[in-house]
Amino acid sequence: MTSKLASLNQWVDEVAALTTPEKIHWCDGSEAENQALVELMLERGDLIELNQDTHPGCYLHRSDPKDVARVEKLTLVCHPNREDAGPNNQWMAPDEANAKIDALFEGCMKGRTMYVVPYCMGPIGSPIARCGVEITDSPYVVANMRIMTRMGKAAQERIEREGSFVKGLHSTGELDPERRWIMHFPEELSIKSYGSGYGGNALLGKKCHALRIASHQARTEGWLAEHMLIVGIENPQGQIHYVAAAFPSACGKTNLAMLIPPEGYRNNGWKIWTVGDDICWMTPGEDGRLWAINPEAGYFGVAPGTSAKTNPNALAMLDRNAIFTNVAVTADMQPWWEGLPDGKPVKDWQGRDVDPANGPAAHPNSRFTVSASQCPSWSPEAESSQGVPISAIVFGGRRQSLVPLVFEARDWTHGVLVGASMASETTAAATGQVGVVRRDPMAMKPFCGYNFADYFAHWLSFDTPDAKLPKIFHVNWFRKNADGKFLWPGFGENMRVLEWMLKRVTGQAEGVASPIGTLPADGELNLDGLGLDDDAVAELFAVDRDGWRDEMVAIGEYLDSYGDRMPAALKAERQRVADALDAAEAAPAQKKVAS
């Protein structure tokens, strides 16, 4: 099998000449092909069959112990001009980078099968979707790409119609950390990854294509490729509003994407629909609104911490047709990870007998790969070629103090500033540094394929006279009291905050102005049944003027670190907020926000 597209055939021939595989297999994405690959991997030991009575169609993959996560220092963005990559990326000149990695690829597939994997990021018929072809020598990658993308014959046919595609070349190589690179060439729309079999480094449709390359494509073509979930919120009247939200790691992103409303909300008819849990592509529609698709077809989620308590929807989809990577297993070969209340692991993620001295039984970054359609809250609109209209964009971080539970940006420019200055606090007990603030703009720090200053300018460019842009909010589920206890219960109760956002979107809530944005006014946020006293509510929404003045200074220093490319409009907006803080009395803490 070959392609009707001459440029695709030529590229495949060039890669084959470089890597010298034993044979070439063009993937069609069929069930028969998948079953053959599974049988091959079981025979080779790349997969281990799990309990088919309790977990039909589920398998375990154990990666090399030195190959368990993304490696940012070895992940390069190779623009011809170093300034175009920006200080937010590792850079190497394209000619040097290609020569360095091509030397590793030379002859690397000898004795192996070279798989040609055509795929589509997004529904096959969607004008927002973009296609790619990954060439790999890993059947594990093929099996995962079949779940994570629209992979196979239909994708190849679209590629042949359009005549263009992102080129992704991957080999596990020797799995030697000293011979490992993940390189991106945005101007060439190409990716080269060598020496890793781990998901983010090897499933090139995911972060490599869908964010690093796509963010560059989006800038040149006038859309946005974002590290965001997409969730639909259906009210009792049957109206659905769609929200896109960006969170750094460990901030509850997947939990929010698959949120189950509290019982009272469910009884009143509220529902949550999951369109996507990780990546969002948005483009302006003819009506001036931003329309979004989830370019992925599956979830590549972190297993530890996933339970019936934290994310019952996620757990419910993991009992069939899933690939688990680096989890532990019980005596009867059921998958296990820390956070599950039941079961007892007997073999850890490396296949050793479980021993606390060896650390967690499941690797902290152990994963599951599963079709999105298996999620109980999956939205059929995830397959809509048009996408879904976005009513609100939410940014969030993990801050123990300073940042209120929720506030709304004043306008689009202020919202871009809020996203650009997103941050979380870390704990570094060994050095005594507690609460160190780390900036992660729009949760894109590891994934933006070009200079952040240009990225912020691209965001600002959407504010045109005919645009009907989403409202922008910021949330902080993690504010603590003086005793170090969380003030907000989180999880399903976050529905209450989403409800207030929708009231703002539909004009049913006035809010109250503050120098940092609009807060819920007295009586607008439903806190019934939470048992929060007045002091806790006041602390959740308090705006510390002095603390925020210091924050604005820190944000200014951060923006300045990008030099002359930083948009003047963003720096002016930061100054506007700083001036408002200087002019205002300390915003009064609200005695009552509950309805």
The reply to whether 200 sits in an annotated binding site is yes
Cα–Cα distance measured from residue 89 to residue 73, given in angstroms and rounded to the nearest whole number: 9
The reply to whether 107 sits in an annotated binding site is no
The reply to whether 207 sits in an annotated binding site is yes
Cα–Cα distance measured from residue 158 to residue 539, given in angstroms and rounded to the nearest whole number: 54
| Tokens at 28, concatenated | 């069609």
Q: Pairing state of beta strands 240-246 and 345-347?
A: unpaired
The reply to whether 413 sits in an annotated binding site is no
HEC profile for 316-334?
HCCCCCEEEECCEEECCCC
Instruction: Concatenate the DSSP letters of all residues of 60-95 into one string.
Output: EE---TT--S--GGGEEE--SSHHHH-TTSB---HH
| Tokens at 101, concatenated | 């990695």
Picking from 257, 222, 575, the residue whose alpha carbon sits closest to that of residue 414 is 575
The reply to whether 366 sits in an annotated binding site is yes
The reply to whether 82 sits in an annotated binding site is no
The reply to whether 251 sits in an annotated binding site is yes
The reply to whether 255 sits in an annotated binding site is yes
| Active-site choice (27, 108, 251, 280) | 251
Helix (H, G, I), strand (E, B) or coil at 526: coil
The reply to whether 222 sits in an annotated binding site is no
Cα–Cα distance measured from residue 473 to residue 467, given in angstroms and rounded to the nearest whole number: 18
The reply to whether 494 sits in an annotated binding site is yes
The reply to whether 70 sits in an annotated binding site is yes
| CA dist 574 → 152, 302, 401, 488 (Å) | 48, 36, 20, 28
Do 456 and 441 touch, CB atoms closer than 8 A? yes
Cα–Cα distance measured from residue 89 to residue 526, given in angstroms and rounded to the nearest whole number: 42
The reply to whether 197 sits in an annotated binding site is no
The reply to whether 316 sits in an annotated binding site is no
Do 200 and 207 touch, CB atoms closer than 8 A? yes
The reply to whether 252 sits in an annotated binding site is yes
Helix (H, G, I), strand (E, B) or coil at 240: strand
The reply to whether 61 sits in an annotated binding site is no
The reply to whether 89 sits in an annotated binding site is no
Residue 375 annotated among the catalytic residues of the structure: no
The reply to whether 86 sits in an annotated binding site is no
Give the other-Cβ count within 10 Å of 277's Cβ.
Answer: 25
Binding residues: 70, 198-200, 207, 227, 249-255, 278, 365-367, 398, 491-494
Point out the annotated binding site for GTP: 250-255, 367, 398, 491-494
Which residues participate in catalysis according to the annotation?
Answer: 251
Residue numbers belonging to the annotated binding site for substrate: 70, 198-200, 249, 365-367
Binding residues for Mn(2+) are 207, 227, 278
